[in-house]
A and B are shown apart, each in its own frame.
Chain A
Amino acid sequence: MTQIVELEGVTKDYGNSTRALSDVRLSLRKGNWTTVMGPSGSGKTTMLNIIGCLDSPTGGKVNIAGVDIAGLDQRGLTKFRRENIGWIFQQYHLVPYLTALENVMLSQFYSGIVDEPLAVEMLTKVGIGHRLQHYPAQLSGGEQQRVCIARALVNEPSLILADEPTGNLDQNNGKIVLDLLERLREEGHTIIIVTHNTEIAGLGDRTIELVDGKISLDRINERKHGEVI
């Protein structure tokens, strides 16, 4: 089975008044890069959080990597998350009192195996090999985001979820991050990236647009190799 994400009639309500997602049906292939677009408040983050098992839907069925999420309890969800999901945040969310290396190892720690050489390797891969002992406050935004990517990658997740990964970065650093993600896609990782930026809308294998919690556009892109921005 090559579908890694399957949403069926997924709805998310906040209280009685706010419907963030409304009857979303979506099926994503393994190894694909999917770009999620849409105006502010359209439900992009909500959808990503549900796919990443950080949030649960009010209605509908969610199946990630062949597992029906509804059947998992709190601990089961946590375990599923650490085995399958790698997060890249717009705010990076690095632990401020740990070094770049320790931030990556933190993720290993909570997955069960601390492997320092592998953590170093991941940081080297994202180009932070020379900044291992730096604290987040000593790193630029772009560097912090790359640490965040290394942390997301280190446990070999089946799904990489990025919510506005370039939102806080300048064009140059944004390009570095996107190039990195492109490389990961080439290595076979499945990536879902949420963005406001219309310039990167056309990147990846597929572009989805949300409006008012509904999918309003779903487009398969022609792959343009090596072409970013």
Chain B
Amino acid sequence: MFMRILGKSIARRKQRVAIAIVAVVMGAAIASALMTTSMAMKDKVGQQFRNFGANIVVIPKSDTIEVGLPGITFGSVTEQRYINESDLWKIKEIANWSANVLGYAPFLYQVVGVNGSDGRSLNIVLAGTYFNRSVENVTKDANGNLWATGIRRIAPYWDITGKWVKDGNDRRESIVGTIAAKAMGLSIGSVYSVNYVNPDTQNVTTRDLEVTGIVNSGGAEDSQIFVDMEVAQEISNRPGKVHSVQVSALCTNCPAELIGQEIEKSLPTVQAKSVKQLVLAENQIMMQLEQTMTLVTVVALGASALGVMTTMTTNVIERRKEIGLLKSIGADNRRIAALFLTEAAIIGLAGGAIGYGIGLGLAQFIGQSVFQSSVEIVPIAIPITMAISVGIALLASALPVRRATQVEPAAVLRGE
């Protein structure tokens, strides 16, 4: 019977209830969109840092710091600032902390054209690096062997199918990220060619490469191609140049900043930032973003609350006689409140559900336009959005419901 009363009273005021639901939808959509975006972005950033074996990033001095952030922005690959490869050994030979430097891997990035599996050509980032390279100038170990370094040293988390590239002596071997391999329709052993267009001369360099391994790191590496540093330098005709160096330093108490300072002393043209510093900077951006989002959400939810409150107040005023009648036939305040609060909860639930759906779309839009990446669904956002929506609807109904319980049946049931 309760549901029948509720259902029929709502059905009779469809439009008004719909307006209240729309009010909740707006707040819920914005709340869920911003919540999803911020959670997904935090996840993403966090994952990138967790996957990152190196804890110091070395980049040319005046370059923007983002260039050194692997997997987050490589928008500046055409930036014409480099570190000289011939200086890199000094990273290992710094004062005081030399023993703590476990290894490093230099990177030179360039965008190359390849053939996609659908026949169309694709642009893809090709990175030159060291895999396991012996470095002259560095003090030999006790057995007289050269010190070797490369991504095999600093990125042990790389999940490679197939084989690593042998440094230097092979001109065709490459490791391809899983996403890139799929896009190009490649598997281990496939031979493919890359085209590099020199931005200044427009000369095209073509090179045949072979897939020796496929990497799955969960990060940006998955959509890149990795070749020996010299191969990359040859393709783009930048001999002896690298964009950035990732350094893995062993630090129990993590004096990564100090190690970074030593590196900067040894190589005056670079800046060496600890990943922790980068994480902090990133966190700060996230925090600022979150504050803005929270503010926007609060404002949107405030508007929702106002919408619900208006509808519920009108509802109570219009139904004063009915409320008086219900009281006269024995409905106490609790049951009067239950009638209106249940309606509010239904408005909250409906608004929350629709709002969540719209919010997801909105989150994708924000992700694409602000972060240039798609936003994953964050399941926890569903119950949170629903709870917020219902909470707001109930809260906004508190005053109108109080008014309903205060209706004096004797006064409203009198003749006109």
Residues of A near B5 (CB, < 8 A) are 95, 98, 102, 106, 109
Question: Nearest-CB distance from B257 to chain A (Å)?
Answer: 68
A151 proximal to B (CB < 8 A): yes
Kindly list chain A residues whose C-beta atoms are within 8 Å of the C-beta of B90.
none
| Closest chain B residue to A108, Cβ basis | B1
Could you list 19 further interchain pairs (A-B, Cβ under 8 angstroms) beyond the known A45-B414, A102-B4?
Answer: A45-B415, A54-B409, A54-B410, A78-B330, A78-B332, A78-B333, A81-B328, A87-B328, A91-B415, A93-B324, A93-B328, A96-B12, A97-B12, A102-B5, A108-B1, A109-B1, A109-B2, A151-B329, A155-B330
A82 & B329 in contact (Cβ 8 Å cutoff): yes
User: Which residues of chain A come closer than 8 Å to B1, judged between CB atoms?
Assistant: 102, 105-106, 108-109, 114
Return A228 CB to nearest CB of chain B, in Å: 24
Q: Classify chain A: how many residues form its interface, as a range.
A: 35 or more
Knowing A93-B321, A102-B4, A167-B415 are in contact, say whether A111-B410 is a contact too (CB < 8 A).
Answer: no
Please state if B330 and A82 are interface contacts (CB–CB under 8 Å).
Answer: yes
A95 touching B322, Cβ below 8 Å: yes
Interface residue ranges of A16-44 to B (CB < 8 Å) = none
Q: Tell me if B317 is interfacial: C-beta within 8 Å of chain A.
A: no
In the complex, residue of chain A having the shortest beta-carbon distance to the beta carbon of B322: A95
Q: With the chains together, A54 CA to B9 CA distance in Å?
A: 25
* B410 surroundings in chain A (CB, below 8 A): 49, 54-55
B331 at the interface (CB under 8 A from A): yes
By the criterion CB–CB under 8 Å, are A75 and B329 in contact? no
Q: Which A residues contact B (CB, under 8 angstroms)?
A: 45, 49, 52, 54-55, 74-75, 78-79, 81-83, 85, 87, 89-91, 93, 95-98, 102, 105-111, 114, 151, 155, 163-164, 167
| Known contacts A97-B12, A109-B1; is-contact A89 B413 (Cβ 8 Å) | yes
Q: How far is the CA of A110 from the CA of B9 in the complex (A)?
A: 17
> B380-416: which residues lie under 8 A (CB-CB) from chain A?
408-410, 413-416
Whether A87 lies near B415 (C-beta < 8 A) is no
- Chain B 1-18 near chain A by CB (<8 Å), digits 1 or 0: 110110011011000000
B329 CB contact (under 8 Å) in A49, A74, A90, A107: A107
Task: State whether the Cβ of B335 lies closer than 8 Å to any Cβ in chain A.
Answer: yes
Q: Are B12 and A78 in contact (CB under 8 A)?
A: no
Q: Nearest residue in B to A45 (C-beta to C-beta)?
A: B414
